[in-house]
């Protein structure tokens, strides 16, 4: 018997969880085919309707369209990030340009554009009575169709289509190259003595990595950012240098996985597309539909921070050099030394040894007694693991989330461990996005890249990994609390320079006294983390912020530099490394000891991940975050009343309203930048 393709109808599993156990490789392509055909038919039906365009027969009908495509895309692209098999990689290269062409066919349809404009005019003239979410939806549709080029003439549209398809191929290529070269550049170590400074579990992980590739000895796999976490503890300077050099050379090595030509072509195509749409640069086109509005507003914020950050980093470097001079001779601080000596100075000045904290960060306790506990305290929600429901990979876990009174909310999937098939970094995505119109519930996922401990030993997280888990869970809450009518506004479907705000706010609970006391217990003895350790950690937090802010700002400004190019300017760039150096020098962030968090050839966020001309978003939303943290602090901290207010005004509305207007209602005023500057120890002089 031939079973029906599981993507053709909604899943019958709880919360419409995709039936992963039934999904086979050969289901994807037919589902993409049928999904695209179905949506084209739905759009045709909208266009041939004899009645004049109304909200219901045009905008709402568009929101209802493409359900098979949504289902298959959510699963396929979720797996492309979390568990990319050679099959998925191959199909993605083929299907991505076709999906892009499909999207263009709809977004560039002149008749559809005319109908959307007609609806917008009817609404403006008061001929349709719609609720606020629907009115906002009409506005968003008109903006996005205009920005996508629906108003262009036929020849320009044809060019646009070609550019979009080529870009789609290139961005996929970028990530595939990066994954290949990251795997190829894993650092091989023959003798365990070279790993001095690493904990037993990290050494066991490195040994297992080597074995899994049929190698003797140890293998250190690279992480997405330039700075590898092991650089903080490895005492062998030559090995630190090897790791740093490998990280920085990714996808820039004159081999099959060289991303330099890819970067140049992406920058040129994006610039020429922007010009076609009537913008000076890609950054100008992107920010036109963000809360920031213009690249100038973005640059103003970044530059306001760059000078004090660089000055602080220089002061930190002087302190680190003193530390080096006191222990070694003839050694000048290099990028691979920064984290190592920072830890030494941190230990000396604040007596904080972050590796001594790890025994207090047992992953299971951090999750249940930290992350979940804070969410329960703030929002009254509860979590129960559903062993009866299967995720896409045996390593991912499934939790059901309910309100205080038992009302179901959705499913939360957690995929903690690193795999060769997993994209680097950490993220949240949705398998099912909430919408009242479609009657869809919520299934959200968090992915991290925690190294798997040796069998029989607990997973002990680093301080950074604990932060990441709280952060990603903030995105998950945004998806889980979504209560919107239209799918376009579901959960995290907000402006990109707003989307990091809820996740950043959620990080505040990690060191909140009641939360920390509840989860930070020794994995073996159950003893709470000593209070003086906590106090010292908090006291040390502004330390090294010059470095952290600088490496981030360097990446953000690099993104602005690539995407701020006009078409002619982009054509003139031929050398990626040279362009980078010049861009960083211009803003005073070209310090070789403080490398940019991502160099262009492995800056996946902006060349493949949808953060193009948008990496600034993190600091843009951190302004809101720091201001919100202050609000919680001034209003009684972790209470249900505060949580509910934040949920009502921010988390629950998804993208269904103007975000800054909603923020104003939540806060009683616009966000203030002072809390951010204070948090990062950046005082403007």
* Shortest distance in whole angstroms from residue 475 CB to Zn ion: 6
Beta strands 427-432 and 408-417: pairing type? unpaired
* Shortest distance in whole angstroms from residue 384 CB to Zn ion: 26
The residue nearest Zn ion at its CB is 503
Output 475 or 488, the one with its CB closest to Zn ion: 475
> How many Cα atoms occupy the beta-carbon half-sphere of 93 within 13 Å?
12
Output 23 or 448, the one with its CB closest to Zn ion: 448
Distance between CA atoms of residues 323 and 344, nearest Å: 8
Name 163's bridge partners. none
Residue pair 96/70 in contact (Cβ under 8 Å)? The answer is: no
With CB under 5 A as the contact rule, which of the stretches 501-509, 511-519, 575-583, 633-641 interacts with Zn ion? 501-509
* Shortest distance in whole angstroms from residue 390 CB to Zn ion: 27
With CB under 5 A as the contact rule, which of the stretches 107-115, 322-330, 431-439, 497-505 interacts with Zn ion? 497-505
In whole angstroms, how far apart are CA 276 and each of 143, 147, 160?
16, 10, 8
Output 72 or 366, the one with its CB closest to Zn ion: 366
Active-site annotation holds for 472: yes
**Residue 594, SS3 per DSSP:** coil
Output 66 or 474, the one with its CB closest to Zn ion: 474
The size of the interface with Zn ion (CB under 5 A), counted in residues, is 2
Distance between CA atoms of residues 228 and 235, nearest Å: 14
* Shortest distance in whole angstroms from residue 500 CB to Zn ion: 5
Q: Which residue has 């019958």 as its token pair?
A: 12
Site string for Zn ion, 246-275 (x = CB under 5 A): ------------------------------
With CB under 5 A as the contact rule, which of the stretches 31-39, 153-161, 212-220, 492-500 interacts with Zn ion? 492-500
* Shortest distance in whole angstroms from residue 434 CB to Zn ion: 19
Tokens coding 645: 């207010």
Q: Which residue has 């039934």 as its token pair?
A: 22
Helix (H) or strand (E) holding 384: strand 382-385
Output 83 or 500, the one with its CB closest to Zn ion: 500
Residue 181 has phi, psi (to 5 degrees) of: -75, -30
Tokens coding 44: 């045709």
Output 435 or 506, the one with its CB closest to Zn ion: 506
Which member of 440, 503, 550, 628 binds Zn ion (CB under 5 A)?
Answer: 503
Output 336 or 598, the one with its CB closest to Zn ion: 598
* Shortest distance in whole angstroms from residue 538 CB to Zn ion: 23
Concatenated DSSP letters of 567-584? HHHHHH---HHHHHHHHH
Indicate the DSSP class of residue 289: T
* Shortest distance in whole angstroms from residue 428 CB to Zn ion: 7
Name 324's bridge partners. none
With CB under 5 A as the contact rule, which of the stretches 143-151, 391-399, 499-507, 645-653 interacts with Zn ion? 499-507
* Shortest distance in whole angstroms from residue 635 CB to Zn ion: 25
Name 187's bridge partners. 220
Beta strands 397-402 and 382-385: pairing type? antiparallel
**Residue 546, SS3 per DSSP:** helix
CA quadruple 138, 139, 140, 145: dihedral positive or negative?
positive
* Shortest distance in whole angstroms from residue 292 CB to Zn ion: 17
Out of 63, 472, 580, 622, which one is annotated catalytic?
472
Output 362 or 500, the one with its CB closest to Zn ion: 500
* Residue 621 lies near Zn ion (rule: CB under 5 A): no
CA quadruple 51, 56, 59, 60: dihedral positive or negative?
negative
Output 205 or 503, the one with its CB closest to Zn ion: 503
**Residue 193, SS3 per DSSP:** helix
Residue pair 653/478 in contact (Cβ under 8 Å)? The answer is: no
Tokens coding 496: 């990109």
Site string for Zn ion, 398-437 (x = CB under 5 A): ----------------------------------------
C-alpha angle 225-461-339 in degrees, rounded to nearest 5: 45
* Shortest distance in whole angstroms from residue 468 CB to Zn ion: 9
In whole angstroms, how far apart are CA 363 and each of 387, 444, 453, 466?
18, 19, 11, 8
* Shortest distance in whole angstroms from residue 330 CB to Zn ion: 42
Contacts 24+ apart (CB under 8 A), 155-164: 156/276, 157/108, 159/276, 160/104, 160/108, 160/273, 160/276, 160/277, 161/101, 161/104, 161/108, 163/269, 163/272, 163/273, 163/276, 164/100, 164/101, 164/103, 164/104, 164/273
Positions 347 through 406 that interact with Zn ion (CB under 5 A): none
Residue pair 46/57 in contact (Cβ under 8 Å)? The answer is: yes
With CB under 5 A as the contact rule, which of the stretches 278-286, 376-384, 502-510, 662-670 interacts with Zn ion? 502-510
Tokens coding 654: 């998804």
Residue 429 has phi, psi (to 5 degrees) of: -145, 165
With CB under 5 A as the contact rule, which of the stretches 149-157, 158-166, 495-503, 506-514 interacts with Zn ion? 495-503
Output 267 or 510, the one with its CB closest to Zn ion: 510
Positions 124 through 143 that interact with Zn ion (CB under 5 A): none
Output 69 or 676, the one with its CB closest to Zn ion: 676
With CB under 5 A as the contact rule, which of the stretches 146-154, 171-179, 287-295, 493-501 interacts with Zn ion? 493-501
Name 435's bridge partners. 440
With CB under 5 A as the contact rule, which of the stretches 142-150, 195-203, 500-508, 539-547 interacts with Zn ion? 500-508
- Residues taking part in catalysis: 472
Residues binding Zn ion (CB under 5 A) = 500, 503
């Amino acid at each position: 018997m031939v079973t029906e393709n599981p993507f053709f109808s909604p899943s019958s599993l709880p919360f419409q969880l995709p039936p992963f156990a039934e999904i086979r490789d050969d289901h994807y392509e037919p589902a993409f085919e049928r999904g695209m055909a179905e949506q084209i038919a739905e759009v045709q039906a909208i266009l041939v309707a004899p009645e004049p365009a109304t909200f219901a027969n045009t905008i709402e009908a568009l929101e209802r369209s493409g359900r098979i495509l949504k289902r298959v895309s959510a699963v396929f692209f979720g797996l492309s990030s979390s568990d990319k098999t050679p099959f998925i990689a191959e199909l993605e290269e083929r299907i991505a340009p076709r999906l892009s062409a499909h999207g263009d066919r709809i977004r560039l349809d002149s008749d559809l554009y005319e109908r959307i404009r007609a609806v917008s005019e009817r609404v403006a003239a008061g001929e349709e009575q719609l609720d606020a979410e629907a009115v906002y939806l009409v506005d968003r549709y008109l903006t996005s169709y205009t920005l996508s080029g629906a108003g262009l003439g036929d020849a320009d549209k044809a060019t646009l289509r070609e550019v979009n398809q080529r870009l789609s191929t290139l961005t996929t290529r970028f990530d595939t190259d990066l994954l290949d070269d990251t795997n190829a550049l894993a650092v091989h170590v023959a003798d365990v003595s070279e790993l001095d400074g690493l904990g037993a579990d990290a050494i066991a992980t490195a040994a297992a990595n080597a074995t899994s590739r049929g190698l003797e000895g140890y293998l250190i796999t690279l992480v997405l950012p330039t700075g590898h976490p092991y650089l903080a503890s490895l005492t062998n300077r030559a090995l630190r240098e090897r790791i740093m050099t490998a990280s920085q050379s990714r996808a820039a090595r004159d081999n099959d996985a060289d991303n330099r030509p890819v970067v140049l072509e992406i920058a040129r195509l994006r610039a020429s597309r922007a010009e076609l749409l009537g913008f000076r640069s890609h950054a100008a086109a992107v920010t036109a539909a963000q809360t920031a509005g213009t690249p100038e507003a973005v640059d103003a914020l970044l530059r306001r921070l760059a000078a004090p950050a660089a000055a602080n980093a220089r002061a930190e470097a002087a302190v680190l050099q003193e530390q080096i001079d006191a222990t070694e001779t003839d050694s000048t601080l290099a990028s691979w030394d920064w984290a190592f000596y920072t830890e030494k100075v941190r230990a000396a000045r604040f007596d904080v040894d972050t590796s001594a904290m790890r025994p207090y960060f047992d992953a299971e306790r951090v999750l249940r007694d930290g992350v979940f506990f804070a969410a329960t305290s703030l929002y009254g929600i509860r979590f129960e693991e559903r062993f009866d429901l299967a995720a896409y990979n045996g390593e991912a876990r499934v939790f059901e989330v309910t309100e205080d009174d038992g009302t179901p909310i959705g499913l939360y999937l957690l995929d903690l461990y690193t795999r060769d098939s997993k994209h680097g970094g950490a993220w949240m995505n949705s398998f099912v996005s909430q919408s009242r119109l479609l009657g869809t519930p919520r299934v959200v996922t968090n992915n991290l890249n925690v190294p798997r401990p040796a069998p029989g030993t607990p997973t002990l997280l680093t301080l950074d990994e604990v932060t990441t888990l709280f952060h990603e869970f903030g995105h998950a809450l945004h998806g889980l609390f979504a209560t919107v009518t239209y799918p376009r506004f579901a959960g995290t479907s907000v402006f990109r320079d707003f989307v990091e705000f809820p996740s950043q706010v959620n990080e505040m609970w990690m060191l909140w006294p009641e939360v920390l006391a509840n989860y930070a217990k020794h994995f073996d003895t159950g003893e709470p983390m000593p209070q003086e350790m906590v106090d010292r950690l908090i006291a040390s937090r502004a330390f090294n912020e010059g470095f952290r802010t600088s490496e981030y700002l360097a990446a953000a400004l690099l993104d602005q530099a690539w995407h701020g190019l006009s078409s002619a300017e982009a054509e003139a760039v031929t050398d990626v490394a040279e362009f980078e150096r010049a861009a960083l020098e211009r803003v005073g962030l070209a310090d070789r000891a403080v490398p940019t968090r991502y160099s262009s050839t492995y800056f996946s966020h902006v060349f493949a991940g949808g953060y193009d001309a948008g990496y600034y978003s993190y600091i843009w939303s951190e302004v809101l975050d720091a201001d919100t943290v202050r609000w919680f602090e001034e209003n009684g901290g972790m209470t249900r009343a505060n949580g509910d207010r934040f949920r009502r005004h921010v988390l629950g509305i998804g993208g269904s309203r103007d975000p800054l207007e909603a923020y104003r209602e939540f806060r009683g005023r616009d966000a203030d930048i002072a809390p951010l500057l204070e948090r990062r120890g950046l005082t403007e002089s």
